[in-house]
Amino acid sequence: MTQIHEKERQLHRQVADAVESALPVVEVLAVELGGPELMRVFIDRDGGVDHALCAEVTKVLRPYLNEYSLEVSSPGLERPLRTRSHFERAVGRRVAVRTAHEIAGRKRIRGEVVRVGEGAVTLAAGDEIEVPYDEIVRGNLIEGEPKK
């Protein structure tokens, strides 16, 4: 696992704890680092995300402003996928996944989510490829791309 990947996972846990404690209706979907000084936080809630909610989350995360420029936003069409519950909502849809280590000879995999298990998601990408959740560095829906 890369240092950046591990740092993102650590920040995700901290940010999710802070946000979900202060605003229980908000789910922190992903935390991504865009260089050493930029942290992107993707949030969601039933009913969607608006500017007012992003501002509330930014206030909760004020302590991080000393170390990072902060971007808080909705997941958009190509929402991030990291956890089992994220992939459960994506069964039958096309996704792109980047892994920490090679799986089936590659680190970048595009395919349809066919199964969601306890420790891994199975993608139809030519052959079926099982990708452990803890290997996923980045994952997102691919909107508008036809099934293959």
Tens digit of each residue's pLDDT (9 = 90 or more) over 101-114: 999 999 999 999 99
Q: What is the pLDDT of residues 46-101, one digit of tens each?
A: 888 999 999 999 999 999 999 999 999 998 888 888 889 889 989 999 999 999 89
Domain ends where: 17, 40, 73?
73
Structure tokens at 146: 């036809």
Within a domain: 147:
no
Within a domain: 63:
yes
How far CA 25 is from CA of 19, 28, 45, 99, in Å, comes to 9, 10, 6, 30
Say if residues 94 and 111 touch (Cβ distance below 8 Å): yes
Identify whether residues 68 and 10 lie together within a single domain. yes
| Strand runs labelled E in 94-135 | 94-103, 106-116, 120-125, 127-132
Confidence of residue 145 (pLDDT cuts 50, 70, 90): low
Q: What is the pLDDT of residues 121-143, one digit of tens each?
A: 999 998 999 999 999 988 999 97
How many independent structural domains does the chain possess? 2
Within a domain: 103:
yes
* Cα–Cα nearest to 19, from 48, 51, 62: 62
Within a domain: 148:
no
Identify whether residues 55 and 92 lie together within a single domain. no
Within a domain: 79:
no
Q: Which domain holds residue 23?
A: 3-73
pTM listed for this prediction: 0.74
Phi then psi dihedrals of residue 69, to 5 deg = -75, 140
Q: Which residue has the higher pLDDT, 9 or 122?
A: 122
Identify whether residues 88 and 130 lie together within a single domain. yes
